[in-house]
Structure 1
């Protein structure tokens, strides 16, 4: 076998499956894709702590496996997406990298493409897999088809079409559809993600460089930490807001987001927040 694009041949599959708690069938089917996507999203949190601590964010597969799998940490979109792509490739799925422009309700205002996600072709059908978007994101993949509405737990999603091949992933809020991000089906490669990752992890105006973030989504609850505020959201639109004191941050990250931190990292985060 020749070198695979996403490094699937170097994936520690057993360790990954144990990390996400997946015990299902491993054949490259739509069912496996849905179940594995759900397992990843609900087990591996979204977080930007390395960036806030002034550390680089390496995207080579060994670094990703060391952090997200063996250290039981989380990461942001590039880390999640590259690890998931390698796992899918190892299992025999056809995977294409994509890039998206985050909207988060901003309408069609153009922003740089700074989000990584995947197209996965299986059983003659294309799917949108997006394990690294965070608290508003998918639990399972959705069909890459215009207008299909998919309910996942208490959350509903659709893919809408715009001009020039642009597609928009939307979630249903109590007051209507909410744009999450816009993307095209132009293929992106690990080298493209390296460039995006450098910009978003180092630019002073990047939202990821100035404050800690953590997010986790389940069927009936979303938790999002931004700076010193944690918001717990429910599908009915209700929210509960909680202010996090500086000394609480490491314990909150572990208790509510499943982020396991060593003593040095806990102390460093307290210094960042001081």
Structure 2
């Protein structure tokens, strides 16, 4: 297989498919994309533990696969979506990298710090994003405006906020909640390297000062931010409670499926305190 921009030739596809528990069709169709998207989110959590511990976040396919697949860890948006891009590349999908400004309900202009993918299937464009975290979509979203989409119990829609600027929203109990805004300007792995450096090292980044671990499914979202563990359901119900430092490794393992070695568990406990 020839070398490609997105690293599909470097991917251990069988190991990835085993990690996400997928044994279906690998033809580059919409059904396959939907199934891979769902299984990836079910299996691999969103987490920033390496960033909190002050470690670099390499984005090459070999390093990312070693962490998310071999070590059965999670990652944040660039790790998830670059690994997913390598999978799509290996399977023969036609796609483009995109980048967005995260809103999370805030209208303040923020830097471009999120990655997603635009996938062309039979002449129709779909947005694939396995790396947004707790509020993100569970399946690919058609790149067209004017319709509401249901993913399990969650509702999403896409609006064109101004010419060429698209806004992805999700419905909360009190109305629409802005997730992120993006244009269709193509982005490449070299671009994400710069975005990743800022997001993983800058003191004003939301990922450097506190733990953020998330897992979302069709009926429940679980999020650990700092010391607070939150469980949320589509009807607005949920629970919140603080996680003491000594309980953190068990919570990571039992709630999010992240098993840490003894040294990392002690380091993350110290950082949590």
Shift of 1:152: 0.8
Deviation at 1:164, TM superposition (A): 3.2
C-alpha contact (below 8 Å) 1:42/1:139 kept by paired residues: no
Higher mean C-alpha displacement, 212-221 vs 155-164: 155-164
CA contact (8 A) 1:51 1:201 kept: yes
Task: Give distance in 2, aligned partners of 1:83 and 1:241.
Answer: 32
Aligned: 1:114 with 2:103 = no
Q: Distance in 1 between matches of 2:3 and 2:146?
A: 37
Question: Given that residues 99 and 187 in structure 2 are in contact (C-alpha distance below 8 angstroms), is that contact kept between their aligned partners in structure 1?
Answer: yes
- The answer to whether residue 146 in structure 2 is matched with residue 147 in structure 1 is yes
| Cα separation, 1, equivalents of 2:4 and 2:239 | 45
SS in 2 for 1:19: helix
Give the structure 2 partner of residue 70 of structure 1.
Answer: 70
User: Which consecutive unaligned segments of at least 5 residues does structure 2 have?
Assistant: none
Runs of 4+ in structure 1 displaced over 6 angstroms?
Answer: none
* Aligned equivalents of 2:6, 2:33: Cα separation in 1: 17
1:234 positional shift? 0.0
- CA-to-partner distance for each residue in 1:210-230, whole Å, 9 max, x for gaps? 011100001100001000001
Are the aligned partners of 1:101 and 1:112 in contact in 2 as well (CA < 8 Å)? yes
SS of the residue 1:127 aligns to: strand
**The residue matched to 2:22 in structure 1 has which SS?**
coil
1:98 is matched with: 98
Per-residue CA deviations over 1:226-257 (Å, capped at 9, x if unaligned) read 00001000000112101100101111011111
State the secondary structure of the residue aligned to 2:85: helix
User: SS at the partner of 1:215?
Assistant: strand
8 Å CA contact retained: 2:77, 2:131: yes
Give RMSD over aligned pairs: 0.9
Q: Which residue of 1 aligns with 2:83?
A: 83
Q: How far does the alpha carbon of each residue in 1:100-134 deviate from its partner, in whole angstroms, 9 at most, with x for none? A: 00001113x21111001110111221000110000
Are positions 1:257 and 2:256 aligned together? yes
Aligned residues: 273
Q: Is the 8 A contact 2:2 2:9 kept in 1?
A: no
Quote the offset at 1:148 in angstroms.
2.4
Give SS of 2:258's match.
Answer: coil
TM-score (norm 1): 0.98
Distance in 2 between residues matched to 1:263 and 1:21, nearest whole Å: 27
8 A contact 1:118–1:130 mirrored in 2 = yes
Q: Can you give the 5+ residue segments of structure 1 that lack an aligned partner in the other structure?
A: none
Q: Residue 162 of structure 1 aligns to a residue in which SS? A: strand
* Pairing 1:132–2:131 present: yes
Q: Secondary structure at the match of 2:259?
A: coil
Could you say which residue in structure 1 is the equivalent of 2:239?
Answer: 240
TM-score of the two chains, using structure 2 as the length reference = 0.98
2-structure distance, mates of 1:41, 1:148: 23
CA distance in 1, matches of 2:159, 2:43: 28
**CA shift digits 1:169-218 (9 cap, x unpaired):** 11111221111000001001000000000001110111111011100001
Aligned to 2:272: 273
Query: Which position in structure 2 is the counterpart of 1:123?
Result: 122
Partner secondary structure for residue 23 of structure 1 = coil
Distance in 1, Cα, partners of 2:2 & 2:52: 38
CA contact (8 A) 2:165 2:183 kept: yes
